[in-house]
Structure 1
């Protein structure tokens, strides 16, 4: 049944599976090139999963048509079954469409989120903490395992920066929409005169690299420092030098981790963070689309935000790139950002954003 075409074109998908199998069986050097063979086998697995999903969905569609036909004949039970089938079918179609949009080389990978407070002092640090919570809540909603592996508290409140590791399928693909500067407009809780303040926070998301991708890190290229991790005081104070700061001398990349009690575990976390940074560097050298990644790292201040969260004088969250918006900032800040993520993916796939970035209103 080729009624839908596109993502439901299973004959084309099966043809590609056969091509990969033929290449793996006929090329004597196939298994010697680990990078190529690994990429092709991963592609084959993804296509096979897609074929299974499509066939299951088409079967549900046929069952739903039957239930609708019986319902039209006045069968009340069939009407109820049809309503339930349509609802389930809609969810499955949306899930399949999301997976279609998440077709990039690293979209299926876990992710690392780096959050930095921008212009605005204490206000910005508080905003960075709010964004950190939003990201953690989104991960919780999606069933991802998220952990704050490093953070630096602000002088008065909030966080100057934070690093979060997110373990889950398609974590990077969904979260890459959050790359850029997030802007908050509100009545400041830190201002005794109750004036309106604008704060900024930058978010950068990078993929966690699979072990089958060869990123070599030489021990001689590393400068490793240990220090005593900070804490809330009392029993939480770490009395040993378990925190690790790692500097990659050739690139100048610096990563650190203090979340674990064990220095060995913090060292492993640092290596994972560094590996991700080096992979991003390698990708930027080889792929033209790296320019899009760099463009996402805009100035952490006025005129460069990707999304504005206005809490006063009205309530609105608006994505400047896609023009997607919500009139309930509290729900968005509680982690319900999937609609923004998906609209970003749709417009990226279409090759054109409706918005152009920058300011969304004349408040300032």
Structure 2
């Protein structure tokens, strides 16, 4: 086998080995057998809450074990393909085997990052809010572009996306939107995306074709499940109802079914217009508020533990995390990690994993300083 291919193969084997050690392979294999046996016992569902915990653990462990086995099999198949190609002088087979090894290595590296998602709520579904900054139509269009970017990212991962709240822009784009993204580790993957995102481009809304800079904020907070209890006093809240508009469809516009809740002590505001029923929207809004308060509590814990410098500041217009330049050159750059891409079209189409992985690694391992912004 050629030296470069051997190096690739060795790197992939090392990554898979790290995954095995992190999972504690022998213990995990035994535990999965125990959970499989318990899941087949009809008596398990006598206690639905306990049964759900068992099934959740089983699903996650089975996925982790199966993934490692797939990676090992993929590496073995690639080595066989390369060996046959070398014996027969078939360069196409050798290249195909090399690409398979690269794919295995990339997947193993991604899963190594995923092992960092061990936070209290990392495995949960997540809410993601996008809000346009000052700047009217230009910023509202940018907010809509970010909404689409995250929706496309979620679709690539086979996550389910629901629109909880949507506020149309005055001429184009959106003033704001809240997405509910459902899938394992959705919050863990997206939690470092909170912050201000900056766009530089020639505005399609400027007849003089001048370059504009626009801002939009993103806020990510976890859906809380039955393991987490957050008490909220109704006397601390102001509840408003209003007529829904936008992405919910025409039928939601006929009554004051949308609900907005303001938590007076913290100033947190949540809104829901997902359903035509005010009762259902109110219930969802209360869940969103509890989730925001829980996220605030998580943030306070991080500050107290001094886990990372970034968690010590509130999200504000001065706290930019990433710049997207479309003109006069093309570059997306993360100001926390230095990660960058010269293909902003791909990034805005949902290919943001390199930025997410870099920020997660920095969050866990530390290191790195703020990077100078780009003009």
- The normalised TM-score by structure 1 is 0.77
Q: Distance in 1 between the 2:83 and 2:207 partners?
A: 66
RMSD: 3.9
- Aligned partner of 1:258 in structure 2 is 273
What residue in structure 1 maps to residue 47 of structure 2? none
Looking at structure 2, the residues matched to 113 and 305 of structure 1 have their Cα atoms a distance apart, in angstroms, of 17
Q: Residues 95-110 of structure 1 correspond to what in structure 2 (within 5 A)?
A: 95-110=110-125
- 3-state DSSP of counterpart to 2:104: helix
Partner SS, residue 244 of structure 2: coil
Taking a change above 3 Å as real, the CA distance of residues 88 and 230 of structure 1, as seen in their structure-2 partners, is: closer
1:176 is displaced (CA, Å) by 2.2
Contact 1:283–1:290 (8 Å) recurs in 2: no
Match of 1:278 in 2: 293
Q: How much has 1:274 moved relative to structure 2? A: 0.8
Counterpart residue number, 2:317 = 300
- For these two proteins, the number of residue pairs brought into alignment is 345
Are the equivalent residues in 1 in contact too, given 2:196–2:215 (CA < 8 A)? yes
CA deviation digits over 1:110-134, x for unaligned, max 9? 1111222224333222211221121
Matched, 1:175 2:194: no
User: Displacement of 1:138 after TM fit?
Assistant: 1.6
Residue 275 of structure 1 deviates from its aligned partner by 1.6
1:311 aligns with 2:321: no
Q: Shift of the alpha carbon at 1:336?
A: 1.9
The correspondence for 1:213, drawn from 228, 241, 256, is: 228
Deviation at 1:13, TM superposition (A): 5.3
1:243 aligns with 2:255: no
In 1: Cα distance, 2:89 partner to 2:253 partner = 68
Task: Give the equivalent residue in structure 2 for 1:6.
Answer: 18
2:144 alignment partner, SS class: helix
Distance, in Å, in 1 between the alignment partners of 2:15 and 2:130 is 45
Counting only pairs closer than 5 Å after superposition, residues 323-362 of structure 1 correspond to structure 2 as 323-353=338-368, 356-357=369-370, 359-361=372-374
Structure 2: tracts of 5 or more residues without a match: 1-12, 36-51
1:54 aligns with 2:68: yes
Which position in structure 2 is the counterpart of 1:228?
243
Classify the secondary structure of the residue corresponding to 1:9: helix
Aligned residue number for residue 152 of structure 1: 167
2:238 and 2:101 map into 1 onto residues whose CA distance is 58
1-side partners of 2:262 and 2:347: how far apart? 36
- Does structure 2 conserve the Cα–Cα contact (< 8 Å) formed by 1:308 and 1:319? yes
Q: Where does structure 1 lack aligned partners over 5 or more consecutive residues?
A: 22-37
Helix, strand or coil: the match of 1:107?
A: coil
Structure holding more helix per residue: 2
Query: Distance between the aligned counterparts of 2:208 and 2:155, measured in 1?
Result: 37
Cα distance, 1:285 vs structure 2? 3.7
C-alpha separation in 2, matches of 1:224 and 1:81: 60
Query: Take 1:279 and 1:39, find their aligned partners in 2: how far apart are those partners?
Result: 21
Q: Indicate yes or no: 2:150 matched with 1:135.
A: yes
